[in-house]
Amino acid sequence: MTNTWIGQPLPRVDGRAKVTGAARYAAEFNQPGQVHAVIVSSTVGLGRIESIDTEAVSHLPGVLAIISHLNAPRLAYREHRGFIDPVIGERLHVLQDDRVHFFGQPVAVVVAETLDQAERAASGVRISYDAQTPAVEMDAGAANAITPDGPSLDTSRGDPELALAAAPARLDVTYEIERQNHNPMEPHGTIAVWTDDRLTLWSKSQFVVNEAAEIEAVFGLPAGSVQVISPFLGGAFGSSLRTWPHVTLAALAARVVGRPVKLVLTRRQMFYTTGYRPHEIQRIALGAQSDGRLQALIHEGIGETSRYEQFVESLTTVSSYLYSCPNVRTRYRLAPLDESTPTYMRAPGEASGVFALECAIDELAVELGLDPIELRLRNEPTIDEGGRIPFSSRSLRECYARGAARFGWDRRDPRPGSMTDGRLLIGWGMASATYPAARAAASARARLVADGTAHVETAASDMGPGTYTSMTQVAAEALGLAPDEVHFELGRSDFPTCPPHGGSWTMASVGSAVHAACVAVRELADSIEARQGMSSLNGATRRDVYRELVTRRGGLPIEAEASSAPGPERQQYSMHAFGAVFVEVAVDPELGTIRVRRALGAYAAGRIVNPRLARSQCTGGMVGGIGMALMERTVLDSRDGRVVNASLADYLVPVNLDIETLEVEVVEEDDPYVNPLGVKGIGEIALVGMAPAIANAVYHATGRRVRRLPIRIESLLAA
């Protein structure tokens, strides 16, 4: 009888390794003869390098090389675009010319025997610039916004302008979200080792196969020349999806000095060269009948990007399908600025777009005198009206009902400022959440070995959601083994190819491939068993059977590799996870401080492989949403683009003392179309609805509608 491991709340299989320090991260794979590299960053935001003076530091003890555009080897920078990279533009060619595109750009790298020696020498490199004033202000960028190149991202149905003008109830407002930076615990780092013309990189990466291919393209190497190893990531949130300049610099330095090189970014450097969630300005216009049924929806957004690449994200896409509306227009534009390129940050596009849409829906509910849930229910669609196809599953009504019941929503007094706790103003807010249930092609390999256990390999990553554990459960169930009889490995670019570890599609993509590979190797084992007439093993455990089979093969493992990819169902159904978020805030009316006292998220995300991991992912996303709503803000000096709060002392993120009660309600959902496992990603949807729910709760507490994130003390105390 097959054990049922999927759906069990098993503890993390890698938990002991992490708490005992046995788990090794990128910068911990120290090599014999290793030296250290430190980046010298530009101190101007735009211009050209006039001179580089290294005389005072080049002869310091331990200094091996100071590399800049003046002496760096010329790199091939062949065309390469993994599908995580911007389609339009060209990535930064590091140390290949004298141009400075943004403040903090790497302009030199110092290599020395020790980290202290490298840091000391890097601080003494003197660079003079022909500096220009960069354009870094979003207001100026928005005034000169451009249409992204390539296929249009704009959509339209009906006549939204006419419908808006004719609607009895209208709303036309602007929302803004300031730039946010990823701040994972583990800084970005790479150790590079050359062996003849082959390169090994121990590097923090959410996409190891792409990183190998990118570095091969940069250095003009044949395919298969670069091996990337990344077994553990200490958080990333999207910042390690792309291959950033520091990886190239580590490999370049290692080639120049002929020794293994370790390069780890400082926290400050991470604010400049590893992407960020872009500053975005959005307009939402709603027109509705007096009963609340939407007649017009216009969603326009502008996001910042660098001048050398066009970063686009799905800022406005949710507005085409979340609510039923006959007249809809979405438009997306870019504001090119003298900055580094943004990148994907947890729930990219959807988190920002849903903030604007869900706050606007709440404003409309107030204007119409309707309960926010009731307004949403009156506009629930029966199909995806943007794509004109059915949903594979949509359990948003159940999320509203289950979440409201558990939160106690029926006790809410709708009048702003009416609920108090002593001198504190209490506000209750809610919002919808959604995120695509995406899937990509992936491959995996399963191997039955001499002791009857299974080894499963795939080039996936694990930045914290529990990939090791959930994949072990999938493999164990398919093979009929116990989880401790499965050894799952990931994080090597020579393992079977996988998509990036982001976008909430790892389980849907990689999990489907792991399942396929394990089914294939079990069928192969069953075939061998049948051919050899092993009836004497009837009733034995699967491990006993596998052990005997491998023994009879002289210890030769039984191995199978399989791939899994989406099919025509992606064009036949609209696939998304859905949720409803409820929040209680307490606002001090004299100090303007805001505290999230409790939050509850009800989520429908298909089949749940491990409820313990799923709840952990949801609460983590909710914490991120609190940061987005109330704390996170990257501040630039308008004179040069310097980030003035590039540290964890000044860039605020939620800590334990900021978090009170977070609850997760899982809504059971069966989706036979989404993928072979019936799963949907849950890592990002939990962040999506938090910021608007908090903003709506702040309005309910204070009567003050704040349309710019983060909501700060001055937002509430301003006259």
Q: Are residues 342 and 362 in the same domain?
A: yes
Q: Across 90-234, where does the E strand assignment appear?
A: 99-100, 106-112, 126-131, 155-157, 169-177, 189-195, 198-203, 226-229
- Looking at the fold, whether 269 and 321 belong to one and the same domain comes out as no
Tell me the mean pLDDT in the region 634-649.
97
Mention every residue, 6+ apart, whose C-beta is less than 8 A from residue 345.
180, 182, 237, 238, 239, 275, 276, 277
- The pLDDT score that the predictor gives to residue 532 is 79
Q: Is residue 168 part of a domain?
A: no
Across residues 449-453, what is the average pLDDT? Answer: 97
Residue from 300, 309, 339, 684 carrying the catalytic annotation? 684
143 occurs within a structural domain:
no
* Residues 500 and 603 placed together within one structural domain of the fold: no
The pLDDT tens digits of the residues spanning 25-84 come to: 999 999 999 999 999 999 999 999 999 999 999 999 999 999 999 999 999 999 998 888
CB atoms within 10 A of CB 328: 24
Q: Are 474 and 511 in contact (CB under 8 A)?
A: yes
Report how many domains make up the chain.
Answer: 3
The strand order across the sheet containing 328-337 reads: 155-157, 328-337, 294-306, 280-288, 169-177, 708-709
Residue 527, domain member (yes or no): yes
| Residue 659: pLDDT band with limits 50, 70, 90 | very high
Helices (H), 204-323: 208-219, 245-257, 267-273
The answer to whether residue 668 is catalytic is: no
Name every residue whose Cβ is closer than 8 Å to that of residue 90 and which is 6 or more positions away in sequence: 308, 309
Instruction: Look at residue 3 in the predicted model and tell me its pLDDT.
Output: 63
HSE-up (13 A, CA, CB side) for residue 220: 5
Three-state secondary structure call for residue 407? helix
- Token pair 């000169």 in the structure block, residue: 144
Asked whether residue 155 is domain-assigned, the answer is no
The residue-averaged pLDDT of 344-353 equals: 98
Do 496 and 381 fall into the same domain?
Answer: no
> If we measure between CA atoms, which residue out of 341, 277, 272 comes closest to residue 103?
272
Computed over every residue of the chain, the mean pLDDT equals 96
Domain for residue 177, yes or no?
no
**At residue 554, what is the residue type?**
G
Q: Same domain for 192 and 244?
A: yes
Domain co-membership, 257 together with 286:
no
* Residue the block writes with tokens 């082959």: 198
End position of a domain, from candidates 520, 539, 565 = 565
215 lies in some domain: yes
pLDDT of 650 over the 70 cut: yes
pLDDT at 1 over 50: no
Question: 426 pLDDT exceeds 60?
Answer: yes
* Domain limit, last residue, from 565, 581, 599: 565
Within this chain, do residues 416 and 448 fall inside the same structural domain, yes or no? no
Q: Which of 140-154, 452-466, 487-501, 533-547 has the lowest mean pLDDT?
A: 533-547
- Judgement on whether residues 306 and 379 belong to the same structural domain of the protein: yes
Q: With the C-alpha atoms ordered 39, 40, 45, 46, is the resulting torsion angle positive or negative?
A: negative
Question: Is residue 533 scored above 80 in pLDDT?
Answer: no
Whether residues 223 and 252 fall in one domain: yes
pLDDT at position 717 is 87
Structure letter (DSSP) for residue 409: G
Asked whether residue 448 falls in the same domain as residue 429, the answer is no
**Is the per-residue pLDDT at 385 higher than 70?**
yes
The distance of Cα 1 from the centroid of its chain, to the nearest Å, equals 39
- Do 293 and 411 belong to one domain? yes
540 — pLDDT class (breaks 50, 70, 90): confident
DSSP for 329-345, written as a single string:
EEEEEEEEESSPPP---
pLDDT at 537 over 70: no
Any idea what the CATH number is for the domain that residue 489 is in?
Answer: 3.30.365.10
* Residue 76: how many other CB atoms lie within 10 Å: 11
Q: How far is CA 6 from CA 243, 420, 515, 555, 610, in A?
A: 34, 44, 11, 30, 7
Residue 534 has pLDDT above 80, yes or no: no
Contacts of 711 (CB under 8 A, 6+ apart): 594, 629, 630, 694, 695, 698
In which domain, by residue range, is 205 found? Answer: 31-132+185-235+240-273
What would the mean pLDDT of 469-480 be, rounded to a whole number? 98
Residue 141 has pLDDT above 90, yes or no: no
Read off the tokens for 290. Answer: 């007096």
Residues 257 and 329 in one domain: no
Model confidence pLDDT, tens digit, residues 661-719: 999 999 999 999 999 999 999 999 999 999 999 999 999 999 999 999 999 999 998 74
Domain boundary among 544, 565, 586: 565
Question: In this structure, is residue 151 part of a structural domain?
Answer: no
For residue 7, tell me if it sits in a domain: no
Identify the CA nearest to 369 among candidates 290, 295, 428: 290
